[in-house]
Amino acid sequence: MKINEKLTSSIAEAIQSLYGEAAPANLIQLQKTKKEFEGHLTLVVFPFLKLSKKKPEQTAQEIGEYLVANQPAVASFNVIKGFLNLTIASSEWIEMLADINRQSQYGFRKATEQSPLVMIEYSSPNTNKPLHLGHVRNNLLGASLANIMQANGNKVVKTNIVNDRGIHICKSMLAWLKWGNGETPETAGKKGDHLIGDYYVAFDKHYKAEVEEMMKQGMSKEEAEANSPLIKEAHEMLVKWEAGDPEVRALWEKMNSWVYAGFDETYRRMGVSFDKIYYESNTYIDGKKKVLEGLDKGLFYRKEDGSVWADLTAEGLDHKLLLRSDGTSVYMTQDIGTAQQRFNDYPIDQMIYVVGNEQNYHFQVLSILLDKLGFKWGKDLIHFSYGMVELPNGKMKSREGTVVDADDLMDEMVATAQQTSLELGKLDGLTKKEAAEIARIVGMGALKYFILKVDARKNMTFNPEESIDFNGNTGPFIQYTYARIQSVLRKAAEAGIIIPTELNHDIQLNEKEESLIQHLAEFPVTIAEAAKDYSPSEIANYAYDLVKEFNQFYHDFSILREENEQVKLFRLALSANVAKVIKLAMSLLGIEVPERM
């Protein structure tokens, strides 16, 4: 924000001139003036009292008088105790708007050769069921964080680790062999991930029935669960898979290919993508090798039963299992292997894992282990830990009655958006195709915004109906404001009005116009803060505040009916730049904005 830079320099001059001493730059702190006081920016003068040797009010008064006399950007000032409130001249705000107007990607920084490479892992699905509501929050946070890091001038690589091996995968495979009768996604008329999920549920149903029957015959629950023929068969299949049995591997590849096709469709609808996908079936092998290397170097130890452990008591933690006694790997081993492969593939400077907060301890341990094993970013890895997301009771029951599939949720959101938009007349005069596209944009925007506006660290309840409200802190409210501005700009173009690239600096702005420009000026700072805090919610709430501010301005002042031609052109330029920043902010959240509604 150039005004801040100008003022900081002038304040330093004022202190040198008034008190004969230089003020350290870090003491000159400007903040937005509180709404109850007059002014745009406030200087806290308490840090300069040792230099002025005067009371706070007198020090603030003297600095204010110096600035009005020597810095044209300052139109006036007022003093409240030790706070100097500065009112910035209209010409400065107009120049700032002109500067914003010149930049199509305002607030975004481009990566250079020297930019750090940030790798972000998100999604991490299992290939035995479709993506669900929890995955929706994970994917939206990961994709948005990637956009924000990129907008801050980082090189970004988006990765996914697919959990495609293990007993849970074998359960689906075995169920399909037993009860599938050769069914395919095509013959079933289902997405592949849903079909495989159905067989995972079928396995569980039969397994529970077996256990119940065995308990009736006198076994304890634990004995029945351990001796169930079905679970034994699933374990046998896993052993065959680990041994590379051709038949088991062929079935595994066929069924996984159905799931990946289903996942791809869901990701496409959700608007998320990956630069590189890793598979646990590959990475666990590298993980085992890496653990055994660590064992040879004395970093880990082996117990009498053959299992391999890490002693983390020196770090204030406990002992961590890395390889089971039969040589099979655990999740930690796989994550070490994935890190090894990523480190080989990319010169990673920072690694961010987007994973739920139930895995906080896992990533604490992983960070220590990776550091011990020599990964330069291991100690500083970021676990972007987020809370659970739930639906209000009784809403949107899924096929299984417990977990809501991502596809079902998206279908419901688009259908609700269409219904709500029709009722409010937002789709009047549009073709069926246009109306369907706007319903998609609004439904997906409502879903994404509602999830991303909440601080990621908090648990949340996602309310589908509340999210598609055209008033309040929602995606549709922001999207509708953008479409409203586009309508004004189209009418201006139809009337032959051309918005100039250079604005008239002699206009006297009103308070709302100045406030809007000040809000636009804060966008680059907001992007930087969102990256520093790993917080997409900061972008969401910035967009909402900007839109609220614009709607008040739109309500109070005419744009196209303004009689003063220069003021009209200025207001059109201001509106166009508000729309531009709304679109940029929403793009960071992965949300589209409709040109008309």
Which DSSP string corresponds to 144-196? HHHHHHHHBT-EEEEEEEEB--SHHHHHHHHHHHHH-TT--HHHHTS-HHHHH
Q: Give residue 393's pLDDT.
A: 67
Q: Are residues 446 and 540 in the same domain?
A: yes
Residue 176 token pair: 């399909």
Residue 543: give its domain's CATH number.
1.10.730.10
Q: Give residue 456's pLDDT.
A: 95
Mean pLDDT on 422-447: 91
Q: Are residues 166 and 269 in the same domain?
A: yes
Q: Are residues 561 and 416 in the same domain?
A: yes
Q: Give residue 242's pLDDT.
A: 85
Which amino acid, 174? Answer: L
**Looking at 246, 274, 302, which one is the last position of a domain?**
274
Domain enclosing residue 170, as ranges: 161-274
Residue 561 scores a pLDDT above 50? yes
Q: Give residue 26's pLDDT.
A: 85
Mean pLDDT on 136-159: 98
Q: Are residues 84 and 166 in the same domain?
A: no
Domain annotation covers residue 316: no
Per-residue pLDDT tens over the stretch 234-272: 999 998 998 899 999 999 999 999 999 999 999 999 999
Q: Give residue 397's pLDDT.
A: 43
Q: Are residues 68 and 177 in the same domain?
A: no
> Where does the pLDDT of residue 396 fall: very low under 50, low under 70, confident under 90, or very high at 90 and above?
very low
Domain annotation covers residue 122: no
> Where does the pLDDT of residue 597 fall: very low under 50, low under 70, confident under 90, or very high at 90 and above?
confident
C-alpha to C-alpha distance for 123 and 267, rounded to whole angstroms: 10
Q: Are residues 62 and 180 in the same domain?
A: no
Residue 433 scores a pLDDT above 90? yes
Mean pLDDT on 204-208: 93
Q: Are residues 435 and 584 in the same domain?
A: yes
Mean pLDDT on 295-299: 95
Residue 400 scores a pLDDT above 60? no
Q: Are residues 457 and 579 in the same domain?
A: yes
Residue 152's beta-bridge partner residues? 109
Q: Are residues 427 and 569 in the same domain?
A: yes
Which one is predicted more confidently, 400 or 485?
485
Domain annotation covers residue 12: yes
Q: Are residues 60 and 190 in the same domain?
A: no
- Give the closest residue to 426 by CA, choosing from 410, 443, 449: 443
* pLDDT mean across residues, the chain: 93
Domain annotation covers residue 291: no
Which one is predicted more confidently, 547 or 29?
547
Q: Which H helix or E strand runs over 471? A: none
Domain annotation covers residue 98: no
Q: Give residue 504's pLDDT.
A: 84
Residue 314 scores a pLDDT above 70? yes
CA distance readout (Å), 231 to 168, 227, 513: 10, 8, 69
Domain annotation covers residue 532: yes
Q: Are residues 78 and 178 in the same domain?
A: no
Q: For the chain, what is the domain count?
A: 3
Between strands 30-32 and 319-323, the pairing is unpaired
Domain annotation covers residue 94: no
Residue 395 scores a pLDDT above 60? no
Q: Give residue 421's pLDDT.
A: 87
Residue 325 scores a pLDDT above 70? yes
pLDDT > 90 fraction of the chain, expressed in percent and rounded? 80
Residue 27: give its domain's CATH number.
3.30.1360.70
**Looking at 274, 297, 325, which one is the last position of a domain?**
274
Domain annotation covers residue 341: no
Q: Are residues 421 and 558 in the same domain?
A: yes
Q: Give residue 25's pLDDT.
A: 81
> Where does the pLDDT of residue 361 fall: very low under 50, low under 70, confident under 90, or very high at 90 and above?
very high
Q: Give residue 398's pLDDT.
A: 42
Check: CB of residue 468 under 8 Å from CB of residue 443.
yes
Q: Give residue 399's pLDDT.
A: 43
Residue 402 scores a pLDDT above 80? no
**Looking at 274, 303, 335, which one is the last position of a domain?**
274
**The whole model's pTM is what?**
0.91
CA distance readout (Å), 309 to 147, 296, 301, 363, 367: 38, 13, 5, 16, 16
Per-residue pLDDT tens over the stretch 28-80: 989 999 988 999 999 999 999 988 999 999 999 999 999 999 999 898 999 99
Q: What is the dihedral of CA 581, 587, 589, 592, to 10 degrees?
A: 110
Mean pLDDT on 317-342: 91
Which one is predicted more confidently, 385 or 2?
385
> Where does the pLDDT of residue 424 fall: very low under 50, low under 70, confident under 90, or very high at 90 and above?
confident
